[in-house]
Each structure stands twice: as C-alpha cells, then as structure tokens.
Chains A and B, each alone.
Chain A
Amino acid sequence: EAQVTQNPRYLITVTGKKLTVTCSQNMNHEYMSWYRQDPGLGLRQIYYSMNVEVTDKGDVPEGYKVSRKEKRNFPLILESPSPNQTSLYFCASSLWEGTDTQYFGPGTRLTVL
C-alpha cells in the first residue's frame, strides 16, 4: 500500500530533550516536506526537500533540523524542544517538486512540557 508513515504518533517530552520524528514514504517520491498544524493557523511548512541531500527552509524553520540521506526517509529533528513547539506535525511527499498532489502522513502529536 502506497503510504507515508510517521513515528511516533504521540510523544510527550520535556524542554531541552532532543528528539527525532521519523518519516518514510514508499512511493519513490522525490519531494518531501514537514508541516506543523496549530489551531487557527492551518498548516505551516517547516522544511522541505526536493531530493536526496537537498533541503531548504519553509515558513517556520526555527528550532528544527532535517536531513535527507535516503530518498524514502525525511526525519525531523528538534535539538532542544521548547513548549512553543507543542503541535501536530505532518510529513508529506509528492512525486517531484512540480507535482500538484501531496500525500500526507497520519501525523505526530508532540507535547513539550
């Protein structure tokens, strides 16, 4: 089944404790992206990657890191999480950077205490 998977689905952590949210897609998509969803703000793009080893900042990159060492994986790294990063996070992928349809993962709900 073609899909985007994220792990973990739920995470509660404390301020300053480094964490990684994994994202993997099995559709051989070149383009991958991370969004955060907050009430009243919709989805905002954090980082995106147009291909392996090519990443760039989205609209709200502060406090986040990403890497794209393999085509299928695009982990989101929070080196020192803070409470304002409590949010619902989505990974998405599309065939290539000019393709219209993005496929979203199921989401990761992160709480930073």
Chain B
Amino acid sequence: QQQVKQSPQSLIVQKGGISIINCAYENTAFDYFPWYQQFPGKGPALLIAIRPDVSEKKEGRFTISFNKSAKQFSLHIMDSQPGDSATYFCAAKRGETSGSRLTFGEGTQLTVNP
C-alpha cells in the first residue's frame, strides 16, 4: 500500500503564481520529509527537506509546511517560473531503523506557463 500519498497528479500554474503540492503519510515513525525535483531525462534531485520538530522551512521561493497532527506536509513554490516545470516527489524516511530508505509519493507533474 502507498504509505505516502501525493496530490495533485498534475498541476498547471501561470508564471508568477503559487504552486502547492500536498502529501499525507500514515507511519508516525517517519522523521524526515524531503522533496525531490526531477526534470525530464534526469534523475531526481533533493530540493528541500524538513524534520517534524519544525512546522515550516523556507529556502528561496520554496517552502515546506508541516502539520504533524494531521500527518500532512506540503510544498509551496512562490512566484512560479517556467524553469520550475518538472515532476516533484515528496518522500518520507524512518531514520532509526531503515537508514536512507525513502518511501516516495506518486509524483506531481508541474507545468508553469509563461
């Protein structure tokens, strides 16, 4: 079963708009929540990550919001640009027992129109 559920499957945003991608998880043992960005023909690359001891993390135009009680986290891309068009994956990891084993969401294909 999918332990990390991601939505929407695809998203179209106008340049300058806000892109929001949501993820929900089931396993309360997860303690690390990264977002990966994947461009066509490339492997995923770490974009930003958060641990459950904070509710928000911001890096430039990218922000993760984390709601521990709801077991949800989301990626916000402010002032979205055509260069942000990519597939985004949320993921989760149980650090204490599974090492670097990541459980991924289904992915969201983001298109930013100029």
B contacts, CB < 8 Å to A: 2, 4, 6, 9, 32, 34, 36, 41-46, 49, 89, 93, 95, 99-102, 104-107
Contacts and interface: CB of A to CB of B under 8 A. Distances in A.
A104 B95 CA distance: 19
Interface of A: 4, 31, 33, 35, 40-45, 48, 50, 58, 90, 92, 94, 96-107
Given A40-B106, A42-B6, A106-B41, A100 B34 contact: yes
Given A42-B6, A43-B104, A107 B42 contact: yes
A90 B49 CA distance: 20
Given A100-B32, A100-B49, A107-B41, A94 B9 contact: no
Nearest to A106: B43
B45 A42 contact: no
A45 B89 CA distance: 14
A105 B84 CA distance: 20
